[in-house]
Amino acid sequence: MSRRPNIGVTAATEMVSYGVWENIPAIISPARYIEAVQRAGLMIAGMFSQTP
């Protein structure tokens, strides 16, 4: 049985505003990077920084 490789994806914490949410911390990563990893058939594991 073949297993897909796992890859850790880093992300940054940024202050963002979305609709009714204003100036809240969000964990973000470039979508193109995530999409490229998925196209390669890899399993993604999020690696998020801790906010103080």
pLDDT by residue (tens digit) across 15-49? 999 899 999 988 888 899 889 988 988 877 776 66
Please tell me which residue, 10 or 19, carries the higher pLDDT value: 19
| pLDDT at residue 45, rounded to an integer | 76
3-state secondary structure of 32: helix
Global confidence as pTM: 0.58
Q: Hey, which residues does 16 pair with through a beta bridge?
A: 24
3-state secondary structure of 11: coil
Contact 9, 34 (CB under 8 A): yes
| pLDDT at residue 32, rounded to an integer | 92
| CB < 8 Å & 24+ apart, contacts of 27-30 | none
